[in-house]
Each structure stands twice: as C-alpha cells, then as structure tokens.
Amino acid sequence: MEKRTLPGSGKPGWLNASLLYKVFGGVLFAYLFLGFMVAPCLNTLLSVFREKNPTTGAIEPFRVISYFFSGNMPSFILSSVILAVALVITVNVVGISIVLLTEYFDIKGAKILRLGYMTTLIYSGMALVTGYLFLYGRDGILTQWLRGLFPQFNEKWFGGFYAVLFTMTFACTSNHALFLRNAIRNIDYNTVEAARNLGAHPFRVLMKVVMPTLLPTLFSLTVMTFITGLCAMSAPKLIGYNSINPKIVELAGTTKGEIDFPQAQAALMSIILALFTIILLTILNHYERKGHYLSVSKTKAKLVKQKIQNPVGNVLAHVYAYLLFVIYMLPVVIIILFSFQNYGAVNAKKPSVEAVTTINYYGSEDVEVPREGRKPKIKENAVTGVFTNPKTGDAIRLSFILAASAAALACVIVVAAVNYIFKQKNKKRAVIVEACLLFPWLLPTILICYSYRIFFNNNIWYVFGQNLYTGENVRLLLIIAYTVVKLPFALRMIKASFYAIDEELEDAARNLGASGFRTLLRIKLPIILPSVLAVFALNFNSLFTEYDMGATFFNPNANTYAKVIESMSTPELQNDYNAAGRQCASTVFIMIVSGLILYLVYGVGARDLGERLERRAKRRQRLMRLTGKAKKPSAKAAA
C-alpha cells in the first residue's frame, strides 16, 4: 500500500518495501529507453560523421554531408517538401469541405455522404493506394475505359506528383473526419444564433464565428498533414514520385560500389527528416500550450444545420458534396465488386453476373496457360484466394500477430506509465517518464526503423549477444519497432482518459482497503477501458496493414501483409495468377476487420454500464415477448 506522503512529512522513504519495485521499474525503464530508443538512433546519427577518406584513411566528419548536398539528394527533400505543402492545401480544402458538408450545412443525404467520406478510416496506406491503382493505374478500370473511348488516351496518365497528391489528399482526410467533426459538433449553437441576431450574414458567421473556434484543431491537423506529406511512403513508391522515404529505403538496401556510402546518406536523409519533424512538432507544442479557445458557456446548445439560402449555391454545394462522395466511394465499390469476380473478369476488367465467385477469398482453381504453337499447359491451383494462397495466408497471420502483440504491448506500457505519472504528479520523474515515451514522436518512423535495421544487425550485448535482424528474430524486432512508434499516440490518448478519473474514486478505494494495484485493476482500468481499447484498436488497424516499417526492414522473415499486397499490384514480376482478384479481396477483408474493430470500440465499447444494463433489460423484454411470458430466459441467455 503506497501512501501519499506529503512533502515535509519527514518520513524516511528509502527503506520501505516498495524500494525493490521502484529500482526494478526504474532499471527496466532505463534499459528499454536507452537500449531501444536512444542507442539505435544515436548510432544512426553518428554513422553520418564516421566515413573515412579512401586515400588517407582518416575520418572526415563532413564528407557525407558535403557529398550529399553536392549530389541530387537534396532534390528528393525538395520534392517531399513540395508534396507536403501541396497536401496541406488540398487536404485542408477537402477535409474542411467534408466536415462542413456533413455537419454544418444542411445537405440532403448527409448520413450517407458521411459514411462515404469516412471510408478511409477502414482502409488506408498500401490497401488504399493499390485500390486507387486498380482504378486509375495503367491497367486500371477507369484508364481502360477511357482508352476505349479515346484510343490516344495516355494510359500512364496516373503517375507522378499529381497522382500522388490526388491519392494522398483523399487518404489523409481521416483525421479531419474524426477530429474536426468533433470540434464542429462542440460549437455552441447559441453563438451562431447570437451572431445572426446581431445582423451577421450566414457566410460571415461561418468565417468569423465558426471557423475561429476550429482553428486550434485545424492547426494541429495541418502540422500532422505536413508531416504525413514529408514522410509519405506507399503512395510515392507505388505511383512513382521521388520523395524522401522511398529513397531512404532504396539507399538502405543498396550495396556500396553502386553509390558512395549509401547507408550514411540514408542516415543523413532520415536525420534531416527528423529535424523537420522536430521543428514542426515544437511549433505545434508551443501553439497548443498557449491554450485553446474553449467554449465558455455552461449550457451548450446543439448545432442546428444551416440551410444554404442561395438556390444556386445550394445546388453547387450538393453537386460538390456528391462529387466528393463518388471519388471516395468509387474505389471501394469497384474493389468490392471485383473481389467477387473470377480470374477472367478481373483480368479483362469487365464484371458480369456469370463471373460472380468467392474464389478470391477462399478456394483454388486450375488455370490454362496458352503456349505459342504448343498445347496449353494446365497450372494446378494457380488461382487462389486470400485465405488459400499460402503466401498471403502466412502474411495475414504474421501481421495479425505482430500488430496485436505490439498494440497490446504499447497499451500495457502506457497504462502502467500513465498510472505512475499521475501518482507522481508535478514531480520531475513523472515529466521524465512522459518525455521518454513521447520521444519517438519526434522521430520519423523511417528513422527508427532504419536505425533498428542497421544497429540490431550486429550482435548486441544487451540483447543477450543476439543479432535481432537475422532469422526469425526480426519479427521480435518488428514488434519492438511497432510498439515504440505507437507509444506517443497511446500516451496522449490514455493520459487524456486518466484525467476523467475522479481523484476521490481512488481515495474511496483506498479508504475501503484496496491496494494500489487493485485500485488500478478494479477501479481505474474499467473506467479508462473504452479509451484503452480504442487505442488498441486504432493501433492494431494501422499496424495490421503497416507498410513503411515492413518495407524498411526488407527481410524475408518479416514479409508483412502490406508487402504481400504490394507484390499483388505488380503480378507480372511475381508470375502470380489472380493477384489482382486477391488484392481486391484483401482490401475488402481489411475493410471488414477495421470496420468491425471500430464498431466494437466506438459502438459497443463506448457504452457505459448504465446503457449496457438498459440494453440488456430491453433485450430480455423483447425475448420474453417473443417466447411468451411462461418461459423466462436466464440473464445469460439474454445477454
């Protein structure tokens, strides 16, 4: 039982029983932080300054830097910055549009529109990019269709900067859909009414009253979008655009000889990326500390949707809303449709009722391969579904285990740490623990992964002399990397939920005799559980189809789901039959898994005990009505 000892109470604290726990906890924390965050990244940083002059053999600290800036490397950085700046503009335009159209303006069918706009929540990254390519790429349905109409149409039209910008614009509005929506729903409608009452025109109300309250959220979203743009990986790599991250991965996998000190250049590039991130996050942090425009009203009125008075404006708004809806929904609909089409239909990109099949999900089929001048060859089981294709199945299993382990590990570490932080409130050690957990936030994922790949590809003494990069060890390394990059997000979310715990609850539990551990387990954890589950689910969702880290590790023992999906989009290289069909089914599978998890977390998990009991009672009543009152169902059956 740890007692809250006040300063000045003068009791010697160094001899009590919890000393062992404290020392053990402290040592473990230091081991994890220094060993898995500081050491690998420091190694990367130092590697930049360790290159030798080939003739003299002396170390030239600035050799890499001067070489780097004299070559074409800065152009990659410039491209990334251009992409990031453009993304900030387009994502904000589309993001603000979708939120205003569904939450602020009175647009017919807003509920359906919202569902469409939120589809990026259930598929993102590699799944989304391959989906867009399935539609717009060289063999894409839309491209083929346009070629049918205009034979001169350039089938490589969807490539380079604008294609990446287009894809990422729609891929990156998920945060707007979540956070900006919350912000706008929190607006006190009385302020809108007051402005109207004082004579402000609706547009003026929007610009002068509504938008300023959204600014803090928009600012955070802008910074996050900028970082996303800088760190873009799957879209530039697949669609084709020279940006930082794909180049780092390429350099990391390059042997010397082809290019001068590729690893050191990759390290330097990831450090430059880190500097960008640090500057941006410092600005964001500084801004957030200045405080928000919090609503001052005690009684908030619910926002009433604004009808657009101008008939032309109203029509245009509706057209715009449904155009966006089509852009969001088209890939989803096409992917779902083709996931139920057979090999022939998918290859010809011509869906038909006769071609409906579930083979892309389950089962296998032989394929007749035509050979010039010879009898066609039958390839047995060449067409396989997501769950029957051994490579895909293995990758799903691997990614599932890795993502679930890392998401769970991050939650456990953060819950324990936040519990400690709150107990030691206002003390230096709490600040240190928090800063350590937020540390990975400053570093781009690619830097952490690159550092892991290089650093742990040696026998490291503090991991029992093992090389974590070789063999199946790499899976453990991937779990650690996944966990590390998810810690800051988990910390921010779970810490916020701890504030919701009334301090008196803890006192009450202690007064009734509960130990610190029991209080955490029985009182605090149940209260924050919805948030912990949400963090777990969101982290799991993003890790399950995670591409950047899997690609950086580039190890056959870490062939993750996203990498397998990537390989499906270039089937000609893999000689993989039915890759396109399986890719569609894969994306549908990801949508179902993510959708289900989001529903469980936000739909079911967010209900409090009162709501759950009420629902149970209602279900019981319904069941009793159905079965007749004589048969009284047990509580368990009803539940």
Q: Rounded to the nearest whole angstrom, what is the least distance from the CB of residue 411 to other proteins in the complex?
A: 18
Q: Rounded to the nearest whole angstrom, what is the least distance from the CB of residue 16 to other proteins in the complex?
A: 12
Asked if residue 394 binds other proteins (CB under 8 A), the reply is no
Q: Rounded to the nearest whole angstrom, what is the least distance from the CB of residue 609 to other proteins in the complex?
A: 4
Asked if residue 4 binds other proteins (CB under 8 A), the reply is yes
Q: Rounded to the nearest whole angstrom, what is the least distance from the CB of residue 301 to other proteins in the complex?
A: 22
Q: Rounded to the nearest whole angstrom, what is the least distance from the CB of residue 10 to other proteins in the complex?
A: 7
Asked if residue 502 binds other proteins (CB under 8 A), the reply is yes
Which residue lies nearer to other proteins by CB, 56 or 511? 511
Work out which of 258, 372, 380, 504 binds other proteins, going by CB under 8 A.
Answer: 504
Which residue lies nearer to other proteins by CB, 187 or 509? 509
- Hunting for tokens 């803090």 — which residue is that? 216
Please provide the DSSP assignment of 314-360 as one string: HHHHHHHHHHHHHHHHHHHHHHHHHHTB-HHHHHHT---STTB-STT
DSSP state letter for 253: T
Q: Under DSSP, is residue 358 helix (H, G, I), strand (E, B) or coil?
A: coil
Q: Under DSSP, is residue 59 helix (H, G, I), strand (E, B) or coil?
A: strand
Q: Under DSSP, is residue 595 helix (H, G, I), strand (E, B) or coil?
A: helix
Contact 346, 334 (CB under 8 A): no
Contact 428, 504 (CB under 8 A): no
**383: left (phi > 0), else alpha (psi -120 to 50), else beta?**
beta
Which residue lies nearer to other proteins by CB, 367 or 525? 525
590: exposed, middle or buried (C-beta count within 10 Å: 0-12, 13-18, 19+)?
buried
Contact 510, 522 (CB under 8 A): no
Window 344 to 383, contacts with other proteins (CB under 8 A): none
Window 574 to 633, contacts with other proteins (CB under 8 A): 608-610, 612-614
Contact 243, 73 (CB under 8 A): no
Which residue lies nearer to other proteins by CB, 300 or 522? 522
HEC states along 557-584? HHCCHHHHHHHHCCHHHHCCCCHHHHHH
Q: Which stretch binds other proteins (CB under 8 A): 4-12, 140-148, 234-242, 370-378?
A: 4-12
Q: Which stretch binds other proteins (CB under 8 A): 213-221, 393-401, 505-513, 597-605?
A: 505-513
Which residue lies nearer to other proteins by CB, 146 or 514? 514
Measured CA to CA, the distance from residue 590 to residue 306 in angstroms comes to 36
| Total residues at interface with other proteins (CB under 8 A) | 33
Which residue lies nearer to other proteins by CB, 512 or 630? 512
Which residue lies nearer to other proteins by CB, 253 or 530? 530
Which residue lies nearer to other proteins by CB, 126 or 532? 532
Asked if residue 8 binds other proteins (CB under 8 A), the reply is yes
Q: Rounded to the nearest whole angstrom, what is the least distance from the CB of residue 527 to other proteins in the complex?
A: 6
Question: Binding string to other proteins for residues 22 to 61, with x set by CB under 8 A, is what?
Answer: ----------------------------------------
Which residue lies nearer to other proteins by CB, 10 or 465? 10
Q: Rounded to the nearest whole angstrom, what is the least distance from the CB of residue 612 to other proteins in the complex?
A: 8
Work out which of 6, 294, 353, 626 binds other proteins, going by CB under 8 A.
Answer: 6
Asked if residue 133 binds other proteins (CB under 8 A), the reply is no
Which residue lies nearer to other proteins by CB, 368 or 611? 611
- Hunting for tokens 């859909």 — which residue is that? 177
Contact 555, 469 (CB under 8 A): yes
What residues does 374 pair with on adjacent strands? Answer: 371
Q: Beta strand pairing status for 374-384 and 364-371?
A: antiparallel
Q: Which stretch binds other proteins (CB under 8 A): 29-37, 243-251, 370-378, 500-508?
A: 500-508
Question: Binding string to other proteins for residues 506 to 535, with x set by CB under 8 A, is what?
Answer: -xxxxxxxx---x---xx--xx-x------
Structural tokens at position 562: 């996203």
Measured CA to CA, the distance from residue 108 to residue 483 in angstroms comes to 43
Contact 52, 64 (CB under 8 A): no
Please provide the DSSP assignment of 263-309 as one string: HHHHHHHHHHHHHHHHHHHHHHHHHHHT-------SSPPPPPPBP--
What residues does 105 pair with on adjacent strands? Answer: 306
Q: Rounded to the nearest whole angstrom, what is the least distance from the CB of residue 523 to other proteins in the complex?
A: 6
314: exposed, middle or buried (C-beta count within 10 Å: 0-12, 13-18, 19+)?
middle
Which residue lies nearer to other proteins by CB, 11 or 625? 11
Which residue lies nearer to other proteins by CB, 326 or 505? 505
Which residues are near other proteins by CB under 8 A?
1, 3-11, 502, 504-505, 507-514, 518, 522-523, 526-527, 529, 608-610, 612-614
